[in-house]
Structure 1
Amino acid sequence: MPPTRARRPRSRLSKDEIEDFFARLTEAIPDPKSDLEYSNAYTLLVAVVLSAQATDAGVNRATRKLFEEVLNPQAMIDLGEERLREHIKTIGLFNTKAKNVIALSEALIQLHGGQVPDNREALEALPGVGRKTANVVLNIAFGHDTCAVDTHIFRVCNRTGLAPGKDVRQVEDVLIAVIPKPYRHPAHHLLILHGRYTCMARKPHCWRCPVIDICRFEPKNVNPG
């Protein structure tokens, strides 16, 4: 008897439900954008690298003064690792992140003329940059239809049934397959913001959720008290 193939994860929602899901999120969040503060592709890249295992608010507090004097890779190298650490010492893993930011800045100058590449392979080759960071930069800075799966998106997709998966790559693959074309670019921020401010981990605000009747999560938290 031939071995049974493992069933590939897929959405628990119907095609019409998925369309309605994103239409409602778009109505509830008409201007979805990152909570990170940045001024160009380089400062965005740095902010996303710093945001690993840290909150966007915490990163913003640390980078406001930093980004007043550092807007490109050469300025970061001129600042130096020690002074960079002083700027970001309130962020978790700041020693490792400082090393990575200096190293990726050097790589950008040596390999890409000081410019952030519009290419996944090149981005992921930079120190401290993984698939999630590359997805965020490609989506925000270059308009690619990517969807970086962070803890918020992973939770929302599994909880609602939109894109179940055992790991972030499974969730990402299902998402890319099912997101309706008009929502492929904004989906990343729609899902993050929904997870951050409505579908929270411990006590989701189901009573004000725009997709409460589509969501497969049970039991729903319908008590705002």
Structure 2
Amino acid sequence: MQDTLKHRGMRNKLAEVLISKGITDTVVLNAIRAIPRHLFMDSSFEAHAYQDKAFPIGADQTISQPYTVAFQSQLLAVKPNQKILEIGTGSGYQTAVLLKLKAKVYSIERQLELFKKTNIFLKKLGYRPKKTIFGDGYKGLPEEAPFDGIIVTAGAPEVPKALMSQLKIGGRLVIPVGLDEQVMTLFIRKSSTEFEKKEFGSFRFVPLLEDKN
């Protein structure tokens, strides 16, 4: 598993692309520059790893487009030592970005194949979330709530009530909402009953699946 000067140069170019698309958060951009995205993907995609594109990672899942990762991370506005819940560990790339932002990360993945593979891989690279969970992201993680932030990395047909309830007052939920195409949505919890909602344009994600059992 090599990370060369060439790879670092490609990441710097990727960061410039993200800046040109409107990413302004320096800490997020530095995380993108630091994390070897090519290691989170099949080696056959290595030459394309620093293009601003999504790629398949198995189990009908994808590693998100870098712009999407940066955009969601910027909306989440992570501060060091905040408790962040990630719904959809996937390849672990977004997890690594959150850890670079110095968050305490709790991450849920419902695909067992990905959960096992990513768990081993993150440890190998030295990324250590507080907890990784094999389970249903719709339910959140009530035993560890409340969270300063929740990030959902799959398209939700509606906003799971459990996630709203697990946010701290002042906490932020970043979630793509919709069926075929999703609207990136930010909820900020203002009180026990009030949420501020902001929408940020269209994105495409794999669907957030609910365990009906």
Q: TM-score range by the shorter chain?
A: under 0.3
Q: Which has the higher strand share?
A: 2
Normalised by the length of structure 2, the TM-score is 0.24
Q: Which structure ranks higher in relative contact order (CA pairs < 8 Å, sequence separation ≥ 6)?
A: 1
Normalised by the length of structure 1, the TM-score is 0.23
Larger radius of gyration: 1
Q: Which has the higher helix share?
A: 1
